[in-house]
Amino acid sequence: MDLYLKKDFLQTTGSFKERGARYAMIMLTPEERKMGIIAASLGNHALAVSYHGNQMGIPVTVVMPLIAPIMKIQKCRHYNANVIIEGKNMEEAKRAAYKLSKERHLKYINGYDHPHIIAGQGTIALEILEQVSNIDAIVVPTGGGGLLAGVAVVVKMLNPNIKIIGVESERCASFSKAISNKAPIHIPIEGTLADGLAVPQVGYNSWETSKDLLDKLVVVKEEWIAIAILRFIENEKCVVEGAGACGLAAILAGQLEEFKGKRVVLIISGGNIDTTILGRCLERGLAADGRLVKCKVTVSDRPGGICELCRVLSSIGVSIKDVVHERAWVTEDVFSVAVIVVCETRDYSHSMELRDLLYSRYKKVEFENFPDPKSFFSND
């Protein structure tokens, strides 16, 4: 594919959310500006309203759930927002924000379903159409549906031949469940690398706006999101959060094969990935990519047994990251030890070479979650 990246993670607060937040705050009445606004968010919407509220002199309160990334919480405070940590998830945080909005007479701004938010998000599509010609498809990360709705309205009005593709994580597939139900429906949300898409129910305005304009919806697995984050860092030198990586994840997973040879725009919606999560993503990406391998090899517990295993691994250029000995649970004999090895390889074919070598040299070898060869693509 001829891929174009719309890098909205380079916005000041690290996501596309600034577009809708700014427009929604511009449209406030003088009285509403004076009283202030409140929002519930895992992070990106909170950051956007905090930053622009600080610029425009509008008091901002944000309610963030306990699972919100620490980095995003700290940044909101840096922009002088009143940050309230409440609720185990977005649903509980939203209920708390609603309650406070009524008690304190604050204007509640929904991060994905307010009409002005949707309109503001649509500006990204205006820029894409100005910047890229002859587009065949635009791939849109989909959570609450605000970005999808804004993009779909603009694109289908100005160039209805362009395909609009929504992408969501399998662990927060609220839009696909809404399609099955023919209306927004509440679903349980599991922990996901795409935390920016972790919305338990699609917004009603977003749903009504986009449901008839969407050409395809793709649900991606978590391992492909991890691989996509890894690819962005290695190939594009871009640090992208899980939500922003979903479009590339769908392509790598072979879910958009009909666009081979076509011109496709990926909206990279955000880059606010927590540092600790980034480390886990990279390791999971390497493991899913067949470049980080964990195996258990039963070797002789006599002098030189483990040394010989290390020599075997080094003979083909495998780098050992971690070694653990396990004696008590070895069932063979008292002169054997199980060695759990985590090692790095160059690529999937190198991992296959490692596997074949160990099988040829040792009687008992176990690999943990050895990758499926069908799931791999080169870095080219």
- What is residue 377's predicted lDDT score, i.e. its pLDDT? 44
Q: Which CATH class is domain 290-375?
A: alpha beta
CA-closest candidate to residue 364, choices 323, 320, 333: 333
- CATH no. for 19-112: 3.40.50.1100
192, 171 Cβ separation under 8 angstroms: yes
At residue 55's C-alpha, the angle toward residues 150 and 85, to 5°, is 75
CA distance 342 to 252: 25
Residue intervals of the chain classified under CATH 3.30.70.260 are 290-375
Q: Which CATH class is domain 2-9+116-285?
A: alpha beta
How do the residues of the chain divide into helix, strand and coil, expressed in percent and rounded to 5? Answer: 45, 20, 35
Residue intervals of the chain classified under CATH 3.40.50.1100 are 2-9+116-285, 19-112
- What is residue 331's predicted lDDT score, i.e. its pLDDT? 66
State the 10-residue block means of pLDDT for the chain, 380 residues long. Answer: 97 96 97 96 93 97 89 91 91 92 95 95 98 98 95 98 97 93 90 85 95 96 92 94 95 96 97 85 84 89 87 91 78 79 90 91 84 47
- What is residue 380's predicted lDDT score, i.e. its pLDDT? 37
Q: For residue 84, what are the β-bridge partners?
A: 63
